[in-house]
Structure 1
């Protein structure tokens, strides 16, 4: 038992040192926010709401889509004058078109698109013109997935199914966009106390 513990500790130390060396020799490049626009859907509450606030603080030009009209003013009051909050229902094509028009009027280069709105995030990206994102090679699409994308749970069949589908969609989109060097990433958060989780006592 002592030998196994020593072995595990040694492996952990080696991995930690290797990770720090990797960080030292291959540091993550800093992204300068000046002049960069980020479009985020699902900013009423939860991850999208906090992400809009954080990116705005960092200096990005945030385009925040919310579903409930009353939340436009509530969120706008928390952001700087550079940010734009607008209504966005990702299940309505006219809202998708309006979001594209708004973005195109603001900038010809969208630095990042964050699909965060509910379990349907990302469904319409393939139908939306991508010219506004292809002007530079550092643009990216970020889909907010979940650990439910690879971990199935009882009483959550629709949610887990949508996240599995979104991860597969993201992988397909990443391959399709590779000729233009458009990056596609996913984020897989665990259970956080967002309104979606708080609204389902069984998950707490």
Structure 2
């Protein structure tokens, strides 16, 4: 039987990766759309050539890899360019993620995506788990982790789907506001529940 797919999402600093890793420790196959986004532009991949052709060599680092910061600056300023880039990359990322999920041997597999709701990717999964965290804690965690200013983080929060919007699409919510031991036990509880589901539905 083909594994069903759980979409895992949450705002910046919510602890999505930690949750995915805990599921991984339980033998669940998972893939992160952010990682896939990096794989599709690796040197030697056709997408990188097309990006360099369009934006010029300035988007390439000295070692021939993509200079993400330069590219981000270019596309943030110009909605047309951003649209072009998204049209190039989104199908490739989707394909990469699908291929990874297809290799899963666990009863269900997980697609981790920060933009599951915003990008409409939630339509490709059978069930949605939202890792939720109070905004104050989110800010505190990210400032500590990225050494970014609170202002920068608030800008990112604004660009991501609002908490309400994310929670509206959730089948399950994991509130990650305590310690790792709590997180572990919550993941185990959800995992045992997921093993009882057929096709991700109750």
- Could you say whether these structures have the same fold, taking a TM-score greater than 0.5 normalized by the shorter chain as the test? no
- The higher radius of gyration belongs to 1
**TM-score, structure 2 length as denominator?**
0.37
**RCO higher in structure (CA 8 A, sep ≥6):** 2
TM-score between the two structures when normalised by the length of structure 1: 0.36
